[in-house]
Chains A and B, each alone.
Chain A
Amino acid sequence: MTQIHFYFDFFSPFSYLASLRIGDLAARHGATVVYHVVDNQVIKRNAGTTGRPNHALPPKYRYLRADLARWARRYGVPLVSPESVSHMDPTIPPRIGRGFLVARRRQKELAYLSAAYRKVWGEAAEMNDALLRELAAVAGLPAADFLKAVDSDEIRKEAEREIAEASERGVFGVPSVIVNDELFWGNDRLDMVEDLLRDASKGARA
């Protein structure tokens, strides 16, 4: 069965958009999705991308907000302005990411993924400890146990490994998709992923 490797970061609105589409896309072509949470800041640094982030570039940032609104309308999904999530404690998004790894061990990864994304990008929930506690429930753990696991060495190492492997495979930004060693960067390349899967299944039938 074809595997779609999906690389995402909870801090990335374009990853949120792509996450809403990737499951159905895979199902349509009999493929499965393998989810990889990464820290986009580290991924970019590994690729040599330096310079100011988009929110520090006003004309570009203004445009990105319009672009996100266009995508949200096309997908028919709620999406809050990135301004509401730009300026907060930078240690929280990686912890939300590691929470995904904890949830994954308990086979709650999809519930966690959609709950975390809905909270942050659908409802503008503040990225803070309270949110992590809410997500603990989604992972099926008492908050204290969940937070302990999120900050454990074991989960931290797993998170680093995911990032290192992603960089190794050529990922330089999120969202990214790898299918059959082919890399696609961006929510806006999912159509091309679909083209590839369609061609692959045609080839398999022929």
Chain B
Amino acid sequence: MAKVDFYFDFLSPYSYLATFRLPRLRAEFGAEIVFHVVDLEAAKQAIGNTRPASHLLPRKLRYLKTDLARWAARYQAPLAFPETLAHVDLKAAARLNRGFLYATRRGAGEAYLTAAFAALWQARREPSEATLKDVAAKAGLDPRELAAAADAPETIAEYARENLEAQARGVFGVPTFVVGDQLFWGNDRIDFLEEYLRDPGAAVHL
């Protein structure tokens, strides 16, 4: 069983798409997926990447939507892009991410993950208090308990720790998969990950 660390942010549509590859990674490649929720913006800032997000640049946004639609078609995954991402409440988004940590403690991590990604990238919901509570309910958790836990100091500290550990391992964007010292960035690099899982000789050492 190869331990595969999977770094994601609910705000990232490519992270959402990458989740459609997880069943095959497990079934065919014996991957043991370890989930790590991180803050994409913080990861970018940590390495000094001040480039404007693609969704804020009209030409790139147009392409981004097309590219996402192509991947969704390839995966036969439902995907709906929101009207705009320019006014996303980043605090609510971070809370949605932290909710995953609580859900994981309660053994409902994956149910929460599925519900959160579906809310944002299928139902076009914005991260908000209401979204957080609906996602909690869908994951079979008590919405009020989860909302409170998402803001608890221990959860905030755990989230900060996850982010720092990810950055220390070289994660600078999401989705990212790390196996040992091999890092694979992007939904579009899962083929390379699979190649490596099939043949550890495919490791790259610089």
Would A172 and B48 count as touching, CB distance under 8 A? no
- Tell me if B125 is interfacial: C-beta within 8 Å of chain A: no
Given known A-B contacts A57-B47, A59-B172, A183 and B52 have beta carbons under 8 A apart: no
CA distance in complex: A172, B167 (Å): 28
**How far is it, in angstroms, between the C-alpha of A186 and the C-alpha of B164 when the chains are bound?**
30
Per-residue 0/1 for A126-150: is the Cβ within 8 Å of any B Cβ (1 yes, 0 no)? Answer: 0000000000000000000000000
Given contacts A49-B57, A51-B50, A183-B63, contact A69 B170 (CB under 8 A): no
Partner of B63, one of A50, A70, A81, A172: A172
Asked if A58 is an interface residue, CB under 8 A from chain B, the answer is yes
Interfacial chain A residues near B49, Cβ < 8 Å: 51-52, 57, 60
Cβ of B57 and Cβ of A47 under 8 Å apart?
Answer: yes
Complex formed: what's the CA distance from A65 to B70 in Å? 27
Which residues of B are found within 8 Å of A51, using beta-carbon distances? 49-52
Contact of A59 among B47, B51, B189 (CB under 8 A): B47
Residues of B within 8 A of A73 (CB): 202, 204
Closest to B57 in A: A48
The smallest beta-carbon distance between A145 and chain B, in angstroms, is 38
Determine if A48 and B52 form an interchain contact, defined as CB atoms under 8 angstroms apart: yes
When the two chains form their complex, are residues B172 and A57 in contact, meaning their CB atoms are under 8 A apart? yes
Bound CA span A106–B118, Å: 56
Give the complex CA separation of A47 and B58 in angstroms.
Answer: 8
Across-interface contacts of B188 in A (CB, < 8 A): 186, 188-189
Please give the distance in Å from B172's CB to the nearest CB on chain A: 5
Chain B residues within an 8 Å CB radius of A56 = 48
Q: Which positions 31-62 of chain B face chain A at CB distance < 8 Å? A: 47-52, 57-60, 62
Closest B residue to A183 by CB, please name it: B63
Known: A51-B49, A57-B172. A66 touches B57 (CB 8 A): no
**B185 interface residue per 8 A CB criterion:** yes
B-contact 0/1 string along A157-177, CB 8 Å cutoff: 000000000010010100000
Q: Inside 8 A of A81's CB, which chain B residues have their CB?
A: 206
A60 and B172 within 8 A (CB): yes
Interface size of A as a range: 20 to 34
B172 touches A50 (CB 8 A): no
B66 in the interface, Cβ–Cβ < 8 Å? yes
Q: Which residue of B lies closest to A60 (CB)?
A: B172
What are the residues of chain B within 8 A of A66 when measuring CB–CB?
182-183, 204, 206
User: Are A63 and B172 within 8 A (Cβ)?
Assistant: yes
Cα of A27 to Cα of B185 in the assembled complex, Å: 31
Q: Is there a chain A Cβ closer than 8 Å to B67's Cβ?
A: yes
Which B residues form the contact surface with A (CB < 8 A)?
A: 47-52, 57-60, 62-63, 66-67, 70, 167, 170-173, 182-183, 185-186, 188-189, 192, 202, 204, 206
For the complex of A and B, list the 5 residue pairs with the smallest distance between their C-beta atoms, beginning with the closest.
A51-B51, A51-B50, A48-B57, A66-B204, A172-B59
| CB-defined A-B contacts under 8 Å, sample of 8 | A47-B60, A62-B170, A66-B182, A66-B204, A66-B206, A67-B192, A172-B59, A188-B189
